[in-house]
Amino acid sequence: MTMITIVEAVNRALAYELEADPSVVLLGEDIGVNGGVFRATDGLQAQFGKTRVIDTPLAEIAISGVSVGLATQGLKPVSEIQFMGFIYATMEQLISHAARMRNRTRGRLTCPMVVRAPYGAGIHAPEHHSESTEALFVHIPGLKVVIPSTPRRTYGLLLAAIRDPDPVIFLEPERIYRLIKQDVEEDGVALPLEKCFIEREGSDLTLISWGASMHEARQAVASLEAKGVGVDLIDVATLSPLDSETILASVEKTGRCLIVHEAPKTGGMGAEIAARICEKALLSLKAPVKRVTGYDIIVPLYKLEKHYLPSVKVILQAAQEILEFA
């Protein structure tokens, strides 16, 4: 095993699949010679050649369109969009073609493609570089949406995404790209896409999060546990399809639920999770479901950015309100 970061785990998973499966190809802006804007593909073109790791023009709609064509003709393209704020140009191809291919052809064709993109705020980048709009893609039938939060999960989930027969949006939390290191066994073993991960177990509160916000969620849980509060900490990881079973079982046990994400609150994934809890586990609740989220604004630049993101302090305040609800 090797101690690596999330961005290194991306690189190792891509290298493993390029070596193991000749149908896998990578494409994106500056991913070859330069190794990508975050160096996630560093060294891969030198190792596997320009026909497997392809530098493309600055045209996201072309990258996604070519990926759809490659995927329907026997290849497994993994395309990189430099930031999530640039992904919107791909939506015509993803929604109108990639997500519909299996249904449109009644299963004769599938679309085994992955679209990777760094996402989220926290690196003091300009506008369009700090988006967290995963809910847009969760709303589209036919697309899987995956957001890892640790190096091990990044490695295993990216392997699973590449091997999946249908299109996957794989969002990588840029704020914690190099913040966390873990021992990762580069054994080519994939993790299941359809299951949440239960990191901690307790009987007093269910805390649900994903992506970069898991960093603050873990700190908040450590603080709560030091005070004797038992917490089920759930990393959703795959937002679509959503593992409702794991979430509902936890809420039925604890009776209290807090959802944390950095995306804007209105129409966010937290609202969908809260709705499912209200539909299926309402009578188990001892307090209303609460959300700690980003604000319904464009991510403010630089000095205000840290105030936009859910903090450990705000998470703890929300948890206390739920625990004290009469």
pTM score, two decimals?
0.96
Give me 306's structure tokens: 């840290």
Instruction: Name the least confident of 57-61, 126-130, 166-170.
Output: 126-130
Q: Are residues 22 and 158 in the same domain?
A: yes
Q: Are 314 and 217 in contact (CB under 8 A)?
A: no
How far is 234 from 318, CA to CA, in rounded Å?
A: 17
The H or E element containing residue 207 is: strand 205-209
Q: Which of 124, 128, 129, 139 is catalytic?
A: 129
Residue 127 domain-assigned (yes or no): yes
Q: Are residues 31 and 171 in the same domain?
A: yes
Which distant-in-sequence residues (6+ apart) come within 8 Å of 252 by Cβ? 281, 284
Residue 46 domain-assigned (yes or no): yes
CATH of the domain at 231: 3.40.50.920
Q: Are residues 87 and 164 in the same domain?
A: yes
Residue 71 domain-assigned (yes or no): yes
Q: What is the pLDDT of residue 26?
A: 98
Neighbours of 61 (CB within 10 A): 13
Q: What is the pLDDT of residue 302?
A: 81
Q: What is the pLDDT of residue 68?
A: 98
DSSP assignment letter at 202? -
Give me 58's structure tokens: 């600055």
Residue 171: pLDDT band (50, 70, 90) is: very high
Domain endpoint, select from 118, 149, 184: 184
How far is 68 from 75, CA to CA, in rounded Å?
A: 10
Residue 225 domain-assigned (yes or no): yes
- Greater confidence (59 vs 125) lies with 59
Q: Are residues 132 and 209 in the same domain?
A: no
How far is 5 from 99, CA to CA, in rounded Å?
A: 31
Residue 189 domain-assigned (yes or no): no
CATH of the domain at 85: 3.40.50.970
How far is 205 from 211, CA to CA, in rounded Å?
A: 20
Q: What is the pLDDT of residue 126?
A: 84
Average pLDDT, stretch 292-308?
Answer: 92
Residue 192 domain-assigned (yes or no): no
Q: Are residues 250 and 221 in the same domain?
A: yes
Residue 128: pLDDT band (50, 70, 90) is: confident
Whether 275 has a pLDDT exceeding 90, the answer reads yes
Give residue-wise pLDDT tens across range 59-108: 999 999 999 999 999 999 999 999 999 999 999 999 999 999 999 999 99
Q: Are residues 153 and 18 in the same domain?
A: yes
Q: What is the pLDDT of residue 138?
A: 98
3-state SS, residue 236? coil
Residue 129 a catalytic site member: yes
How far is 213 from 263, CA to CA, in rounded Å?
A: 10
Q: What is the pLDDT of residue 48?
A: 98
Q: What is the total count of domains within the chain?
A: 2
Give residue-wise pLDDT tens across range 200-251: 999 999 999 999 999 999 999 999 999 999 999 999 999 999 999 999 999 9
Q: What is the pLDDT of residue 102?
A: 95
Domain endpoint, select from 184, 213, 244: 184
Residue 22: domain span: 2-184
Domain endpoint, select from 123, 154, 184: 184
Percent of the chain clearing pLDDT 90 (strictly above): 96
Give me 229's structure tokens: 């509060």
